[in-house]
Amino acid sequence: MITKSQNVRYSRQILFTGIGEEGQSRMLNSRVVIIGCGALGSAQAESLARAGIGKLRIVDRDFVEFSNLQRQTMFTERDAAERLPKAIAAANHLREIDSNIEIKSEIADVNYSNVEQLIEDCDVVMDGTDNFVTRYLINDACVKHKINWIYGAAVGSYGVTMTIRPDVTPCLRCIFPEAPAAASAPTCDTAGVIMPIVSVVAAVQVSEALKLLTGNEENLHGSLMQFDVWRNEWRSISTGKPSGDCETCSLRKFESLAAESAEFAAVLCGRHAVQVSPSHPMRVDLTQLSERLAPAGEVKGNDYLLRFRTGEFEMTIFQDARSIIRGTDDISTARSLYAKFIGN
């Protein structure tokens, strides 16, 4: 099952009693999806690639910026200068870490229309997102398809994580029936974030993934774990069984997967930017678009995106016709720029 070179590469992990040769072989035959490749996703992706997870799918909607480098360990100055999409930059680095595993990049915003397809055929989904809208989407899709997923969040010096196993543990909605009100919850925008808490949360998430993938379910922590590395607080609240009256896991109402609840424009945390998505899935020809936009402003780009500057705004346009519009926090301004330059 395990080749000679794999035996060498993973020797310290094979020696570990919880894993052994059988566990390693199971990991090499597993597929893990990482949704969001920012700080948490970077740490998860690197650990999982090094551990020899055979297939990794990296999903991210954004490109690398200099303000990411303080905590998003996957990326370098060159990635930021080239504005590479995070899913592409991460895959490039992961291939240098392990050229034998299969790594797939998905430059996409996770929404009701693609989430089920993105998590398809995978053994575990890792939460590397930064918002509850996407987490409820992941929760709905994972509960519906009975796929384990590992919630994680970090802001300031505080972090939280929980492992969700449909039918066995509570789901995200059992614990958080409603998303925290936008104004009350601290965000990376208002509270900043330091890298050590990211490392702690990602380490616990990855440990849980390894336990699930190697059949060590009895070692899962079974709780909502909370950490504060600045205040030195470590708490773990046992989560027990599913709540029994949850809309998602008991009544199987998958509200987030319904098109009516989809949001097509969203203000991005801490960026003075708004993301606008097309109302239906589509592809744009970036070369053609670039020619069309040239008379109206400065256009630059790479194989994956275009950057268009007009007045005080900067629009980044991806192949899936999404645009991140910088220079405003106002959704209607962003929508009208989108309509004017890209169409609808």
Give residues with Cβ within 8 angstroms of 205, minimum separation 6: 40, 44, 126, 127, 150, 152, 161
Q: DSSP letter string over 197-220?
A: HHHHHHHHHHHHHHHHHTT-GGGS
| Position among 249, 273, 315, 321 found at the interface with Zn ion (CB under 5 A) | 249
Residue 171 binds Zn ion, judged by CB under 5 A: yes
Please identify, using beta-carbon distances, which residue of 107 and 257 lies nearer to Zn ion.
Answer: 257
Q: Position 135: which residue type?
A: R
- Tell me the closest approach of the beta carbon of residue 241 to Zn ion, in angstroms: 10
User: From residue 199 to residue 238, what is the string marking binding to Zn ion with x (rule CB under 5 A)?
Assistant: ----------------------------------------
Task: In whole angstroms, give the CA distance from residue 172 to residue 149.
Answer: 10
Q: Is 246 in the site for Zn ion (CB under 5 A)?
A: yes
| CA gap 109, 82 in Å, rounded | 20
Q: Is the dihedral of CA 130, 128, 77, 288 positive or negative?
A: negative
**Site stretch for Zn ion (CB under 5 A), options 62-70, 76-84, 173-181, 229-237:** 173-181
> Which one of 23-31, 37-45, 163-171, 278-286 is the stretch in contact with Zn ion (CB under 5 A)?
163-171
Whole-number minimum distance, CB 169 to Zn ion, in Å?
Answer: 9
Give me the least distance between CB of 181 and Zn ion, in Å please: 21
Catalytic residue among 142, 174, 188, 249: 188
Residue 188 appears among annotated catalytic residues: yes
The site that binds Zn ion (CB under 5 A) totals a number of residues, namely 6
Q: How far is the CB of 210 from Zn ion (least distance, A)?
A: 25
Output the CA torsion 38→39→44→47 (10° steps).
120
- Tell me phi and psi for residue 75, to 5 degrees: -110, 155
State phi, psi for 311 to the nearest 5 degrees.
55, -130
E-strand spans in the chain?
Answer: 31-35, 55-60, 102-107, 124-127, 148-155, 158-164, 223-228, 233-238, 265-268, 273-276, 298-301, 305-310, 313-318, 323-326
Least spacing, CB of residue 300 vs Zn ion, in Å:
46
141 binds Zn ion per the rule CB under 5 A:
no
Q: Which of residues 38-67 bind Zn ion (CB under 5 A)?
A: none
**Which residue, judged by CB position, is nearest to Zn ion in the bound state?**
246
**Does residue 142 touch Zn ion according to CB under 5 A?**
no
Q: How is residue 162 written in tokens? A: 């929980």
* Cβ pair 52, 36 in contact under 8 A: no
Residue range at the interface with Zn ion (CB under 5 A); choices 67-75, 161-169, 180-188, 247-255: 247-255
Q: Contact positions toward Zn ion, by CB under 5 A? A: 171, 173-174, 246, 248-249
**Which residues are catalytic, by number?**
188
